[in-house]
Structure 1
Amino acid sequence: MSLTLEQRLDTLPAGAEVAWCGQQYVTAGQLRADVATLAGWLAAHPARHWALCLDDAYAFTVALLACGMAGCVAVLPGHRRPAGLEEQAPYIEALLVDGDWSSAVLSFPVCHWQAVMAAPLSAAPTTPWPAPLSVLMFTSGSTGVPQAILKQERELLAEVEIQAGLWADALAGAVILATVSQQHIYGLLFRILLPLRLGLPLAAATCTTPEQLQAAVRGLMRPWALISSPAFLEHLDPDLSCPGARWLVSSGGPLSASGAALSQRCLGLSPVELYGSSETGGIAWRQQHGSDWMLLPGLTLSVDAAETWWLTSPFLPAGQRWALSDRLVWQENGFRLLGRADRVIKLAEKRISLDEVERRLRAVPWIAEAAVVPLEIGGRRCLGAVLIPSAEGWRLHATLGEGRLLLQLRQALRPWLEPVALPRRLRCLSAMPVNSQGKRPYAVLKELFDVAIEC
Structure 2
Amino acid sequence: MASLLRFADPDYFLNGTFFEDLKKDHPILVDPLWQGTSLERQLSDSPLPKQSNPQTFSLVTSGSTGSPKMVWKHWDEIQKEVDVWLSETNTQSLFQDVEEIHVQVPLCHLYGLLWGYLLPKALGIPIVMGQSKTETPAKLSITSAPQLQMAVTNAFALPERAIVSGMKFPVPLARDLRELGGISLLEIYGSTETGGMGYRDPLRQNRFIFLQEVQIQFQTFGEENELLVKSPFVSKHYDTFETNEWVSHHLPANSYYATGDLGENSDLGFYLIGRKDRIIKHKGKRVSLDRVESEILGLRLEGQFVCVPVHHERGDTIGLFTDSRLPIDHLYQTLRNELPDSHVPRVILKQNSIPKLPNGKLDYQSITKLCLNEYIKQIATKDKEKQTIQINSETTVAEILSSILGYIPKPNDHLIYDCGMDSIQFTEMFLKLETKIGSKIPEEDKQTGFFVSLSGMEGYLKDKLYLQ
What TM-score, normalized to structure 2? 0.53
2-structure distance, mates of 1:232, 1:261: 16
Q: Percent sequence identity over matched residues?
A: 20
Q: 1:421 aligns with which of 363, 368, 383?
A: 363
Partner residue of 1:294? 209
SS in 1 for 2:184: coil
Tell me which residue corresponds to 1:189.
Answer: 114
AA of the residue aligned to 2:40: L
Q: Deviations over 1:144-177 (max 9, x none)?
A: 6332211111222222111111213430342111
2:229 aligned partner, one-letter code: L
Deviation at 1:286? Answer: 0.6
Cα deviation, 1:97-138, whole Å, max 9, x if unaligned, reads xxxxxxxxxxxxxxxxxxxxxxxxxxxxxxxxx975322123
Closer, same or farther: CA 237–137 of 1 in aligned 2, 3 Å: same
SS of the residue aligned with 2:212?
coil
Q: Could you say if the C-alpha distance between residues 195 and 264 of structure 1 is closer, same or farther in structure 2, counting changes exceeding 3 Å?
A: farther
The CA deviation at 1:79 is 3.3
Q: For 1:430 and 1:420, locate their aligned partners in 2 and report how far apart those are by CA, in whole Å.
A: 20
- Separation in 1, partners of 2:10, 2:53: 26
Contact 2:28 2:60 survives alignment (8 Å): no
Selected match of 2:320 from 375, 378, 398: 375
* 1:34-433 alignment runs, 5 A limit: 48-56=2-10, 59=13, 62-77=16-31, 79-82=33-36, 83-89=38-44, 90=46, 132-140=54-62, 145-166=67-88, 167-174=91-98, 175-203=100-128, 205-207=129-131, 213=132, 215-216=133-134, 218=136, 224-237=139-152, 240=155, 242=157, 245=159, 247-263=161-177, 268-289=182-203, 290-304=205-219, 307-316=225-234, 317=236, 319-342=254-277, 375=320, 377=322, 416=358, 418=360, 420-421=362-363, 428=373
The alignment's C-alpha RMSD in Å is: 4.6
User: Which runs of 5 or more residues in structure 1 are unaligned?
Assistant: 1-46, 94-129, 208-212, 356-370, 381-402, 435-446, 449-455
CA deviations 1:213-251 (Å, max 9, x no partner) are: 3x2564xx9x631111111112224784647x5531111
Structure 1 residue 341, shift from structure 2 partner = 1.0
Structure 2 unpaired stretches of 5+: 237-252, 280-288, 295-305, 310-315, 326-348, 380-404, 407-468
Change in CA separation of 1:216 and 1:144 when aligned onto 2, cut-off 3 Å: same
Q: 1:48 to 1:303 in 2, by over 3 A?
A: same
One-letter identity of the residue aligned with 1:137: L
Go from structure 1 to structure 2 and tell me whether the alpha carbon gap of 1:52 and 1:294 turns closer, same or farther (over 3 Å shift). Answer: same
Judged with a 3 Å threshold, the aligned counterparts in structure 2 of structure 1 residues 287 and 148 are, in CA distance, closer, same or farther, namely same
CA distance 1:228–1:264, change in 2 (3 Å): farther
Largest Rg, 1 or 2: 2
TM-superposed CA distance for 1:190, in Å, is 0.6
Preserved CA contact (<8 Å) 1:73 1:133: no
Q: Which secondary structure does the structure 2 equivalent of 1:420 belong to?
A: coil
Query: Which digits, 9 at most, give the CA deviation of each residue in 1:1-28, with x for residues without a partner?
Result: xxxxxxxxxxxxxxxxxxxxxxxxxxxx
1:254 counterpart SS class: coil
Q: Measure the CA separation in 2 of the matches of 1:170 and 1:417.
A: 31
CA distance in 1, matches of 2:4, 2:319: 35
* Contact 1:162–1:297, Cα closer than 8 Å, also in 2: no
Q: Specify whether residues 78 and 155 from structure 1 end up closer, same or farther in structure 2 by C-alpha distance, changes over 3 A only.
A: farther
What is the aligned partner in structure 2 of residue 365 from structure 1? none
Cα separation, 2, equivalents of 1:131 and 1:267: 48
Q: Distance in 2 between matches of 1:149 and 1:372?
A: 34
**CA–CA distance in structure 2, aligned partners of residues 379 and 194 of structure 1:** 40
Aligned to 1:22: none
Report the CA distance shift for 1:305/1:170 in structure 2 as closer, same or farther (over 3 A).
closer
The Cα offsets for residues 251-308 of structure 1, whole Å up to 9 and x where unpaired, read as 1112223322444566821311111111101112111434211002211111246644
